[in-house]
Amino acid sequence: MERRGMEQLAIILIDGLVYASWLFLISAGLTLIYGVLRILNLAHGSLYAMGAYAAASAVLFYFDRGLWPPGSYVALLGAALIIGIVAGPLIERGLLRWIYGRDPVYQLLATYALFLILEDGMKLVWGVNPYYAYKPYGLLGTVQLAGIPYPGYSLLLIGVALLASGGLYLFLHRTRVGRLVVAIIHDPEISVALGANVPRLFLLTFTLGAILAALGGAFTAPMISVVPGLSVEVIVLAFAVVVIGGLGSLEGSAIGALLVGVVRSLMVHRIPELELFAIYLVMALVLLFRPQGLFAIEEVRRV
């Protein structure tokens, strides 16, 4: 009985970790973009959905050619990069740069409009029928975890999230450009006065955020049927995680994702009726005690 209890705990934790990885991928870009550009991008979910569609198309195309199956993971990655690198700069240069510093309501309306346009755009390109690109999921088979077979692909998702968060950390804390981005997050105006090329760094950050969203979509595509409407679910969850963690804080998003991931997993296994409620429960509790979220952007002490 005790052994069974331990097994169940392990599964709850791993399930939670897998879900947290996915949550981190969808929210990291959103919070990074907010931190630097100060725009809450309602179209973030659309970048995720485009990543998912592009990845599904790429995988289907890849297997149609009868190519070496493990290479399909590279196809997933490539699809995400292409979406991020093409759509990111188009959106930033074409729309966002006109609304920097405007009233937040105006910015929300503009990115909401973009979301609607992208939704229909995706229907035009990919149609409304579902895409099933499950082969990369099956390739990894199952792994025995605490004596229970567990899908290997879920563990890959943890790996992708760890790589993304580690890469982001190194970028922001070890590279010159990264530390300029940190400076802009904390004080855009003084950064400009020190010579930071803010328009270029905005473009870079938005593209990076777009790649992260597309990456989340691309690596989720093999686990789901890719259908219209993906964006909405994602944007709601990503908002919740970002608000829990504190707007603009990557550390906050990571902790928020873990918190929501584990609580949700606990609910799924123990009180399944409350699965969806779990996220909002965590959010409500956090906001009750820390209205600014767990990690609000740190300000220099003003004496």
Partner 1 sequence: MLELENVHVSLRGFPILRGVSLEVPEGRIIGLVGRNGAGKTTTLRAIMGLVPVRSGSIRFERADLTRLPAHRRASLGIGYVPEDRRLIGPLTVEENLLLPAWAIGMRDAPDRLRWIYRLMPEVEELAGRRAAQLSGGQQKLVALARALMPGARLLLLDEPFEGLAPAMALRMGEILRDLQLKGMAILIAESDLHRVSALAARIYTIERGEIQATGEGE
Query: Least distance to partner 1 from the beta carbon of 193, Å?
Result: 5
Which CB atom, from 84 or from 188, has the smaller least distance to partner 1?
Answer: 188
Query: Least distance to partner 1 from the beta carbon of 99, Å?
Result: 18
Which CB atom, from 124 or from 300, has the smaller least distance to partner 1?
Answer: 300
Q: What is the 3-state secondary structure (H, E, C) of 50-118?
A: HHHHHHHHHHHHHHHCCCCHHHHHHHHHHHHHHHHHHHHHHHHHHCHHHCCCCCHHHHHHHHHHHHHHH
- Count CA atoms closer than 13 A to 200's CA, side-chain side: 8
Q: How many residues does the chain have?
A: 303
Query: Least distance to partner 1 from the beta carbon of 191, Å?
Result: 7
Query: Least distance to partner 1 from the beta carbon of 177, Å?
Result: 7
254's enclosing H/E stretch is helix 250-270
Which CB atom, from 191 or from 231, has the smaller least distance to partner 1?
Answer: 191
Which CB atom, from 196 or from 232, has the smaller least distance to partner 1?
Answer: 196
Q: To 10 degrees, what angle do helices 250-270 and 275-289 make?
A: 140
Which CB atom, from 179 or from 270, has the smaller least distance to partner 1?
Answer: 179
Q: Are 257 and 63 within 8 A, CB to CB?
A: no
Residue 202's contacts (CB-CB under 8 Å, 6 or more residues apart) are: 36, 37, 92, 96, 97, 100
Query: Least distance to partner 1 from the beta carbon of 183, Å?
Result: 5
Catalog residues that contact partner 1 under the rule CB under 8 A.
176-177, 179-180, 182-183, 186-187, 189-198, 298-303
Q: Which of 230, 285, 251 is nearest to 169 (CA)?
A: 251
How many Å separate Cα 242 from the centre of its chain? Answer: 10
Q: Are 280 and 264 within 8 A, CB to CB?
A: no
Query: Least distance to partner 1 from the beta carbon of 79, Å?
Result: 33
Which CB atom, from 136 or from 188, has the smaller least distance to partner 1?
Answer: 188
Q: Are 61 and 89 within 8 A, CB to CB?
A: no
Query: Least distance to partner 1 from the beta carbon of 175, Å?
Result: 9
Which CB atom, from 25 or from 180, has the smaller least distance to partner 1?
Answer: 180
Query: Least distance to partner 1 from the beta carbon of 205, Å?
Result: 15
Residue corresponding to tokens 């970002």: 242
Which CB atom, from 65 or from 174, has the smaller least distance to partner 1?
Answer: 174
Q: Are 55 and 215 within 8 A, CB to CB?
A: no
